[in-house]
Amino acid sequence: MKQTHKSILNQSIYTLILCNLIFAQVEITKLIDRVDLDGTSRKYLLDDIEPYTGEVLYRYNNGEYEFKGKMLDGLQDGHWIWNYENGQKEQEGFFNNFAQDGFWQWWYPNGQIKQEGEFQKGVKHGTWSMWHSNGVVSSAEPYRSGKLEGKLILWFDSGQKEGEALFIQGIKHGYDRGWYPNRKIRWEYEWFKGVEHGPQVMWFENGNKKVEHHFNKGKLDGVVREWYQEGQQRLEGFLDSGLMQGTWSWWYPNGDVAMSGEYLA
């Protein structure tokens, strides 16, 4: 069948209108919020009765995009990008029905990667990595269904390890260690299901011991010893489930006794 110029023109106009509907793009400031009966807030064009579907954007005063992304039925959906005012990418990721989903990344203003990891239906999952602004890794955080699970590790911007701890279902369980930038040990703790349990030792940066405590299910229990930075003992006593008992002694930095006394149960 031979098409007339008029029918071809009509088809072209229809196609253009359809494309505009499918690939609609508006400034976020032109959308308003309306709340569903279930409490879900959706974006609408002022005169529309249906939630907005299409691309949204917002620009800085200099014309650079601050963010750009897609909405489906008034909710963030699909690919989104945020930029710094200088045009450098700030973060990028995906939404699925308003929930962060899939691989996400963040950057520093200088373009250096800052953070990356995966979301599953709005919660962190898998290993999340973070970096200092100089490009050195700052942390490795293991997640399972939104909760820390496994060994969390921290690093100084020099690359030297700063700390490490074990987590189970989002709470500390097991060892917890930290270091000074000079690589000397700073602390060693033990945790049991989110509470301090077992020995707790801290050191000064010069390597001398600072504190030596013991915890029993979150309460100080047993002998307590503390020292001054130069190595002289500062105090010694005994705790029973957090209560001071028995002989307690305190010393001055020169070694002279400052005070001593008995605590009764």
Query: Per-residue confidence of the chain (265 residues) as pLDDT tens digits?
Result: 445 544 544 454 444 444 444 456 899 999 999 999 999 999 999 999 999 999 999 999 999 999 999 999 999 999 999 999 999 999 999 999 899 999 999 999 999 999 999 999 999 999 999 999 999 999 999 999 999 999 999 999 999 999 999 999 999 999 999 999 999 999 999 999 999 999 999 999 999 999 999 999 999 999 999 999 999 999 999 999 999 999 999 999 999 999 999 998 6
Which amino acid, residue 215?
F
Q: What is the structure's pLDDT at 97?
A: 86
Strand partners, 187: 178, 202
What does the alpha-carbon distance between residue 209 and residue 107 come to, in Å, rounded to a whole number?
40
In a domain, 23, yes or no: no
Residues 6+ apart with CB under 8 A from 102: 93, 94, 96, 118, 119
Q: What is the structure's pLDDT at 80?
A: 98
The bridge status of strand 54-59 relative to strand 89-96 is: unpaired
In a domain, 163, yes or no: no
Q: What is the structure's pLDDT at 115?
A: 98
3-state secondary structure the chain: CCCCHHHHHHHHHHHHHHHHHHCCEEEHHHEEEEECCCCCEEEEECCCCCCCCEEEEEECCCCCEEEEEEEECCEEEEEEEEECCCCCEEEEEEEECCEECEEEEEECCCCCEEEEEEEECCEEEEEEEEECCCCCEEEEEEEECCEECEEEEEECCCCCEEEEEEEECCEEEEEEEEECCCCCEEEEEEEECCEECEEEEEECCCCCEEEEEEEECCEECEEEEEECCCCCEEEEEEEECCEEEEEEEEECCCCCEEEEEEECC
In a domain, 259, yes or no: yes
In a domain, 214, yes or no: yes
Q: What is the structure's pLDDT at 17?
A: 41
Evaluate whether 155 touches 139 at the Cβ level (below 8 Å).
yes
What is the pTM assigned to this prediction?
Answer: 0.84
Q: What is the structure's pLDDT at 12?
A: 47
In a domain, 60, yes or no: no
The bridge status of strand 219-220 relative to strand 209-216 is: antiparallel
Residues 6+ apart with CB under 8 A from 144: 125, 150, 169
Evaluate whether 109 touches 84 at the Cβ level (below 8 Å).
yes
In a domain, 24, yes or no: no
What does the alpha-carbon distance between residue 32 and residue 151 come to, in Å, rounded to a whole number?
44
Backbone φ/ψ region at 90: left (φ over 0), alpha (ψ -120 to 50), beta: alpha
Give the chain's domain count.
1
Backbone angles phi, psi at 179, to 5 degrees: -130, 155
Q: What is the structure's pLDDT at 264?
A: 84
In a domain, 124, yes or no: no
Q: What is the structure's pLDDT at 3?
A: 52
Q: What is the structure's pLDDT at 111?
A: 95
In a domain, 229, yes or no: yes
Domain range for 214 is 197-265
Backbone angles phi, psi at 83, to 5 degrees: -125, 155
Q: What is the structure's pLDDT at 9?
A: 42
Q: 166: closest CA among 211, 135, 198, 132?
A: 198
